[in-house]
């Protein structure tokens, strides 16, 4: 099983290949057809989510109750991932192709909302007034798709490097093995 550092190297190499391919396609005028889909904003968001998924939000956060590389990249905020690590067995549901990456998105949304709520609730005691406002830009669908694609692609590369097939989830349910032990190899 590749170490955290190896996973990052694999993901970065693939990203460099993608970027080179994109630059080449652009220079040949091949991207023009997809101009609306490949707006600079979407491409930027895709790249950002891919990098976030490669360094900060990886499947191996299921080991966050120990000391894992992705958790260390968060600094002190890495502590926020400890409950995720205790909830998920290493290479269990966290390492499935569709649900696995989704568990981390949902987890971040829940933790983010809880933090936002705590901040708005506590700020007045310190003499501050905080308000969170969401504003959707008109092309939010393409942006969301770009972000999701970038994130999922980074997760899938991790799973491929781990040697995990897309039907991992189904196999797991069928076998219903006892919870795996948790080696800390990262």
**Judged by CB under 5 A, which stretch of 40-48, 58-66, 111-119, 148-156 contacts Zn ion?**
58-66
Cα separation, 102 vs 118, whole angstroms: 24
Determine if residue 141 is left, alpha or beta; phi over 0 gives left, psi from -120 to 50 gives alpha, anything else beta: alpha
For Zn ion, the binding residues in 162-181 under the rule CB under 5 A are 162
Instruction: Report the nearest approach of Zn ion to the CB of residue 181 (Å).
Output: 15
# residues contacting Zn ion (CB under 5 A): 3
Nearer to Zn ion, 8 or 60 (CB): 60
Nearer to Zn ion, 15 or 90 (CB): 90
Helix axes 140-161, 40-55, angle to 10 degrees: 30
65 binds Zn ion (CB under 5 A): no
Among 60, 152, 157, 186, binds Zn ion (CB under 5 A): 60
Among 4, 53, 59, 85, binds Zn ion (CB under 5 A): 59
For Zn ion, the binding residues in 136-165 under the rule CB under 5 A are 162
Instruction: Report the nearest approach of Zn ion to the CB of residue 40 (Å).
Output: 32
**Which pair of tokens denotes residue 103?**
């568990």
Per-residue burial over 42-70, b if 16 or more Cβ lie within 10 Å, else e, is bbebbbebbbbbbbbbbbbbbbbbeebbb
Instruction: Report the nearest approach of Zn ion to the CB of residue 97 (Å).
Output: 13
Nearer to Zn ion, 142 or 182 (CB): 182
Cα separation, 155 vs 164, whole angstroms: 11
**Judged by CB under 5 A, which stretch of 40-48, 57-65, 100-108, 117-125 contacts Zn ion?**
57-65
Would you report the helix, strand and coil content of the chain in percent, each value rounded to 5? 70, 0, 30
Instruction: Report the nearest approach of Zn ion to the CB of residue 1 (Å).
Output: 7
Cα separation, 44 vs 19, whole angstroms: 11
- Positions touching Zn ion (CB under 5 A) are 59-60, 162
């Amino acid at each position: 099983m590749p170490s955290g550092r190896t996973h990052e190297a694999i993901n970065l190499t693939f990203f460099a290949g993608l970027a080179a391919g994109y630059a080449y396609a652009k220079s040949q005028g091949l991207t023009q057809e997809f101009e609306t889909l490949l707006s600079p904003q979407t491409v930027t968001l895709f790249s950002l989510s891919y990098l976030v998924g490669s360094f900060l939000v990886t499947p191996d956060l299921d080991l966050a109750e120990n000391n894992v590389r992705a958790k260390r990249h968060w600094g002190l905020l890495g502590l926020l991932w400890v409950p995720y690590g205790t909830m998920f067995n290493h290479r269990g549901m966290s390492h499935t192709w569709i649900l696995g990456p989704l568990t981390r998105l949902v987890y971040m949304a829940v933790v983010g909302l809880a933090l936002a709520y705590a901040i708005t609730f506590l700020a007045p005691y310190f003499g501050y007034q905080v308000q969170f406002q969401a504003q959707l830009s008109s092309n939010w669908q393409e942006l969301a798709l770009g972000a999701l694609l970038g994130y999922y692609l980074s997760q899938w590369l991790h799973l491929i490097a781990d040697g995990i097939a897309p039907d991992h989830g189904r196999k797991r349910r069928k076998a219903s093995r006892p919870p795996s032990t948790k080696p800390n190899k990262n």
